[in-house]
């Protein structure tokens, strides 16, 4: 079954490359570093020099959300002198976030496609001692190659919805061996664990550990940045700040209409309310900015550096600042729930005790 899967993957490579090219028109980051997706990666000079003395830990995080969720663990591992980290992502936005957060303190590349040649090439060049996968980015060939090379693979913060479990079950001949190649799984909840076990994961190789994202902490330097931001924006208890984050196509119009209704209220707090609007995907930044400008409200982009103090709407078009923007707000809406997609994680606004 795995050979048929690999053959299928090889056959669709031209279509995958066409899709990357198509996405590159909206997000140019997808057009860069294509060879990395086939395992042609190059370690930093410092990695080559320290590889003899340090174990390389390969951590895979699909995109921004998974990377930020794994960041506390990454920081902990970085504090240990015997390890050096190689972080992979699948998306361009995830890649940008790794570079912004960690700079050159880690090696970073796109994850190789799940083809034996690509994965083997990546492992020969990186020589990882262990693979850590955030959430549920499971690939049959990747896990099989790791097992063949005696590289333990650990799934952390694992989750599996009922819908996803049904999808995996349709390919049980592929799913069961894949899960049996997994060395260990740290699973979020009991119901997630049951779905994994039903699909073939050995219960002896798993433990329910909770959601790593609940380990979020509001560091003092972050709180200081929020305080400075609120001062810069001239915020006070009579000026209500509403943040709508991780919005999808079709939600921004609804939010802007709701904001207009809030501003139409008679009390002082609502009349002076302001909106921070943060689209989920960077390729939508320009469109949403134009949408905001089409209203009667004054709008400024966060990336412009222009002051927000006298404006009505701030478009959050920067990466890595969402946690700080939540901290500067009073009320939060987390996107995905106004369209047929499903709402995103609200742990970050909850950490700030937002309404």
Same-domain check for residues 149 and 275: no
Q: How many Å apart are CA 95 and CA 27, to the nearest integer?
A: 12
Number of domains in the chain: 2
Please give the order of strands across the beta sheet that includes 55-60.
107-110, 83-89, 55-60, 130-134, 153-158, 184-187, 206-208
Same-domain check for residues 163 and 71: yes
The token duo for 126 is 């990186």
Same-domain check for residues 158 and 286: no
Q: Is 281 exposed, middle or buried (0-12, 13-18, 19+ CB in 10 A)?
A: middle
Same-domain check for residues 311 and 206: no
Question: Which residues span the domain enclosing 235?
Answer: 220-351
The distance from CA 248 to its chain's CA centroid, rounded to whole angstroms, is: 15
Looking at 215, 247, 271, the residue that finishes a domain is 215
Q: Is 104 exposed, middle or buried (0-12, 13-18, 19+ CB in 10 A)?
A: exposed
The C-alpha R_g of the chain, in whole angstroms, comes to: 22
Regions of the chain with pLDDT less than 70: 1-17, 19-31, 45-52, 266
Q: Which of 66, 135, 251, 348 is catalytic?
A: 66
Looking at 215, 243, 268, the residue that finishes a domain is 215
Model pLDDT for residues 137-182, shown as the tens digit of each residue: 899 999 999 999 999 999 999 999 898 999 999 989 889 999 999 9
Same-domain check for residues 195 and 246: no
10 Å Cβ neighbour count for 214? 11
Q: pLDDT at position 284, please?
A: 92
Same-domain check for residues 101 and 8: yes
| Whether residue 162 lies in the annotated active site | no
Look up the CATH number of the domain holding residue 145.
Answer: 3.40.50.11720
């Amino acid at each position: 079954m795995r050979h048929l899967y690999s053959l299928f993957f090889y056959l669709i490579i031209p279509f995958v490359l066409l899709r990357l090219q198509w996405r590159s028109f909206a997000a140019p980051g997808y057009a860069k570093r294509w060879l990395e997706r086939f395992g042609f990666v190059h370690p930093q000079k410092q990695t080559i020099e320290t590889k003899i003395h340090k174990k390389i830990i390969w951590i895979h995080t699909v995109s921004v959300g998974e990377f930020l969720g794994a960041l506390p663990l990454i920081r902990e591992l970085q504090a240990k002198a015997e390890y050096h980290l190689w972080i992979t992502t699948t998306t361009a936005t995830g890649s940008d976030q790794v570079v912004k957060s960690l700079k050159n303190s880690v090696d970073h590349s796109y994850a190789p496609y799940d083809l034996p040649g690509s994965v083997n090439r990546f492992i020969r060049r990186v020589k990882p001692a262990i693979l850590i996968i955030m959430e549920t980015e499971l690939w049959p060939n990747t896990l099989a190659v790791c097992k063949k090379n005696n590289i333990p693979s650990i799934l952390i913060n694992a989750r599996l919805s009922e819908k996803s479990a049904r999808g995996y079950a349709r390919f049980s001949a592929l799913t069961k061996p894949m899960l049996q190649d997994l060395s260990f799984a740290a699973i979020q909840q009991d119901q997630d664990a049951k779905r994994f076990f039903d699909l073939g994961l050995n219960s002896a190789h798993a433990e329910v550990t909770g959601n790593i994202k609940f380990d979020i902490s509001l560091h003092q330097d972050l709180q200081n940045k929020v305080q400075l931001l609120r001062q810069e924006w001239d915020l006070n208890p009579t000026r209500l700040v509403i943040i709508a984050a991780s919005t999808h196509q079709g939600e921004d119009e609804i939010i802007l209409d709701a904001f207009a209704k809030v501003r139409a209220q008679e009390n002082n707090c609502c009349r002076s309310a302001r909106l921070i609007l943060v689209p989920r995907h960077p390729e939508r930044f320009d469109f949403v900015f134009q949408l905001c400008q089409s209203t009667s409200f004054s709008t400024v982009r966060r990336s412009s550096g222009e002051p927000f103090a006298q404006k009505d709407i701030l478009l959050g078009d920067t990466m890595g600042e969402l946690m700080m923007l939540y901290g500067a707000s009073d009320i939060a809406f987390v996107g995905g729930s106004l369209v047929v997609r499903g709402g995103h994680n609200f742990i970050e606004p909850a950490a700030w005790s937002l309404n």
